[in-house]
Amino acid sequence: MKSKFLGLVATALVAAAAAVSATAATPSVVEVNVDRTIHFAAGDLCSFPTTLHNKGVRRTTTYYDSSGNVTRTVIHLAAFTQTVTNDVTGASLSTPLAGPLIVEPNGDGTVTTRIPGNDGRIVVPGQGFIYGDVGLTVFTDLDVLMLTGHYENPDRYVEELCAALA
């Protein structure tokens, strides 16, 4: 479930980064104010319908080789907050996302993605800290290759999030 959620978030960010034109050997930088809402039907993320709202600034820096081929894309999030809401009860939890998200082509049509930093933290009012993904996540084509840092179980974030919102 966590890898599915990571995949959705990362795919959206990578798709936005891929829109940057590969016309020069110097890095290109694009800053975008993000205010996006995604709805999930019951069963897609939690057993109840949920809404994911992302808000903040996404800065995408794309690096090129001398031929103009993309060698790395780095996405930094500034003042970026992700809020998940239980659409039935209205209960919501927010987490800062600190990234960055680093995408590097492997030369075979696949990419390797690294996310060092905070990739989700659950703090429930009245209960305190419940869960946090803090460390390094590495995956290629949505297969998790490495989790280092504070990761007890890659599916636990979604499980804890849904339990806290139920």
pLDDT tens readout for residues 82-112: 899 999 999 999 888 777 888 898 888 888 8
In the DSSP assignment, the letter for residue 26 is: S
- Residue among 73, 84, 38, 79 nearest 58 (CA): 79
Average pLDDT for residues 102-125, to the nearest whole number?
A: 82
Report the 10 Å Cβ neighbour count for 107: 8
Res. 46 pLDDT band, cuts 50 70 90:
very high
Interval 54-68: pLDDT, tens: 999 989 999 998 888
Q: How many CB atoms lie within 10 A of CB 111?
A: 19
Q: Who wins on pLDDT, 31 or 134?
A: 31
pLDDT at 132: 76
Query: What separation in angstroms does the CA of 59 have from each of 17, 73, 74, 132, 151?
Result: 9, 10, 8, 24, 26
